[in-house]
């Protein structure tokens, strides 16, 4: 597709030039963020992974079990992904979205099967209302199969993203061990969550949410559940993610050098519904752009995922 045909789809370039939200971004009244009234004072649990290898391991596993069953979400600190890796990833993501549209649009595609693509919605063809978000989606396992498709501008993009994806994968594998243990999946057998995946797959998104002149009319990302196994999200310093619990939305406030982990639909199935894949959404605001970088960890397409025997 030519740049001229797609340029109107890139919300970041609309956002800088309008003082009202174009009608294709306006949600029906029954489906708006209600920014002022709906959030609850609750917060998702913070779990310190430092303790995982010490005498308090059982306590950490208990905290994971509680978080996955009650919230479907938790934050983690001391997770092993180096601060530098995180900082470099955020910086290169910011640089990517600051490039002129003519550069970004080279990666534009509405074809959801593409393994590297820039877009503004889950599926531009089928969505009635567009999201106030531009995103770059990448497949990243194994890296060597996909890296040549990734953007080559900024020049450090591939190197930085490969380092980040490798480091986050190692973290996800640790999390899968813990989660398997916490839900009572039989140890050292085919039943562990990581062994049900066939050839594992790993995707990333770089989400860019531009400032929005009427943030109460639209969503960066409307309420949804993640269809994959588990997700690990890196947020910048602007708060925008909200998690649904007990009829209210909990705002997740960013904490530097932490990840937000959530249970996806497939983990809910593997855990026989003990763990919950819960609704979450991203709201935008009028003065600050923000970036988030979720990693989605999934089974390969040929894997059969079902409830697993418990020990
Ligand atoms: C997602 C998602 C939340 C965010 O991409 O599935 O939930 O904060 N993102 O960007
Ligand atoms: Ni999500």
Give the model confidence (pLDDT) of 182-208 as tens digits.
988 766 555 567 777 778 899 999 999
The number of domains in the chain is: 1
Q: SS3 for 187-234, per residue? A: CCCCCCHHHHCCCCEEEEEEEEECCCCCHHHCCCEEEECCCCCEEEEE
Cβ contact 293:232 at 8 Å? no
Q: Which residues of 140-179 are buried (b: 16+ CB within 10 A; e: fewer)?
A: bbebeebbeebbeebeebbebbbbbbebbbebbebbbbbb
State the DSSP string of 270-305: HTTTSS----EEE---SS--EEEEEEEEE--TT---
Which of 119, 123, 221 for mutating ligand 1's site (highest number of atoms within 8 Å of CB)? Answer: 221
Which atom belonging to ligand 1 lies closest to the Cα atom of 280?
Answer: 7
248 inside domain: yes
Give the model confidence (pLDDT) of 29-81 as tens digits.
888 887 655 667 789 999 999 999 889 999 999 999 999 999 999 999 999 99
Bond prior to 154 in cis (omega within 30° of 0): yes
Residue 34: its pLDDT value, please? 77
Rounded to the nearest angstrom, the distance between the alpha carbon of 56 and the centre of ligand 1 is 31
Both tokens assigned to 78: 């001391």
35 inside domain: no
Which of 207, 239, 253 for mutating ligand 1's site (highest number of atoms within 8 Å of CB)? Answer: 207
Which of 97, 204, 205, 238 for mutating ligand 1's site (highest number of atoms within 8 Å of CB)? Answer: 205
Ligand 1 proximal residues by C-beta, below 6 Å: 205, 207, 221, 226, 233, 240-241, 280, 282, 292, 294
Give all strands (DSSP E) within the chain, no chain letters: 39-40, 46-48, 73-77, 116-119, 134-139, 201-209, 221-224, 230-235, 241-245, 248-251, 259-263, 280-282, 290-298
Which atom belonging to ligand 1 lies closest to the Cα atom of 226?
Answer: 6
Rounded to the nearest angstrom, the distance between the alpha carbon of 243 and the centre of ligand 2 is 10
29 inside domain: no
Bond prior to 142 in cis (omega within 30° of 0): yes
Residues 120 and 136: their CA atoms lie apart, in Å, by 9
What range does the domain containing 80 cover? 42-108+121-299
Residue 39: its pLDDT value, please? 66
149 inside domain: yes
- Taking residues 263-277, report their average pLDDT: 94
Q: Would you call 161 helix, strand, or coil by DSSP?
A: helix
- Taking residues 97-104, report their average pLDDT: 92
Pairing of strands 134-139, 73-77: unpaired
Rounded to the nearest angstrom, the distance between the alpha carbon of 68 and the centre of ligand 2 is 15
Mean pLDDT value across the chain:
88
304 inside domain: no
275 inside domain: yes
What end-to-end distance do the CA atoms of the chain give, in Å? 53
> Which residue carries 């409307």 as its tokens?
222
Pairing of strands 73-77, 46-48: parallel
Residues 107 and 227: their CA atoms lie apart, in Å, by 24
307 inside domain: no
Residues 308 and 271: their CA atoms lie apart, in Å, by 7
- Taking residues 282-308, report their average pLDDT: 87
Cβ contact 110:143 at 8 Å? no
19 inside domain: no
Q: Which residues of 259-294 are buried (b: 16+ CB within 10 A; e: fewer)?
A: bbbbbbebbbbbbeebbbbbebbbbbbeeebbbbbb
Which atom belonging to ligand 1 lies closest to the Cα atom of 260?
Answer: 8
State the CATH number of the domain containing residue 147. 2.60.120.330
Give the model confidence (pLDDT) of 123-177 as tens digits.
555 667 889 999 999 999 999 999 999 999 999 999 999 999 999 999 999 999 8
């Amino acid at each position: 597709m030519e740049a001229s045909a797609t340029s109107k789809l890139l919300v970041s370039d609309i956002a800088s030039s309008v003082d009202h939200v174009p009608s294709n971004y306006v949600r029906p009244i029954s489906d708006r963020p209600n920014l002022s009234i709906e959030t609850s004072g609750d917060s998702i649990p913070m779990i310190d992974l430092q303790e995982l290898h010490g005498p308090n391991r059982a306590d950490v596993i208990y905290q994971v079990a509680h978080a996955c069953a009650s919230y479907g979400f938790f934050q983690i600190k001391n997770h092993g992904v180096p601060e530098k890796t995180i900082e470099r990833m955020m910086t290169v993501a910011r640089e990517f979205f600051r490039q002129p549209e003519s550069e970004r649009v080279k990666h534009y595609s509405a074809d959801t099967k593409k393994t590297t693509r820039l877009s503004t919605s889950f599926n531009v063809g089928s969505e009635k209302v567009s999201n106030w978000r531009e995103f770059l989606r990448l497949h990243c396992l194994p890296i060597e199969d996909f890296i040549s498709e990734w953007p080559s501008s900024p020049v450090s993009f591939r190197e930085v993203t490969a380092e980040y994806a490798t480091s986050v994968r190692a973290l996800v594998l640790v999390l899968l061990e813990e989660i398997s243990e916490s839900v009572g999946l039989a140890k050292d057998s085919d039943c562990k969550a990581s062994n049900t995946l066939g050839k594992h797959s790993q995707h990333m998104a770089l989400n860019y949410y531009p400032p929005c002149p009427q943030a109460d009319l639209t969503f960066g990302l409307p309420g949804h559940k993640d269809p994959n196994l588990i997700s690990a999200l890196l947020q910048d310093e602007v708060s925008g993610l909200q998690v649904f619990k007990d009829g209210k939305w909990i705002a997740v406030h960013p904490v530097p050098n932490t990840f937000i982990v959530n249970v996806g639909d497939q983990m809910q199935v593997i855990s026989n519904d003990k763990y919950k894949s819960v609704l979450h959404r991203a709201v935008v605001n009028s003065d600050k752009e923000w970036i988030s970088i979720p990693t989605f960890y999934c089974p390969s397409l040929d894997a059969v995922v079902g409830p697993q025997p418990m020990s």
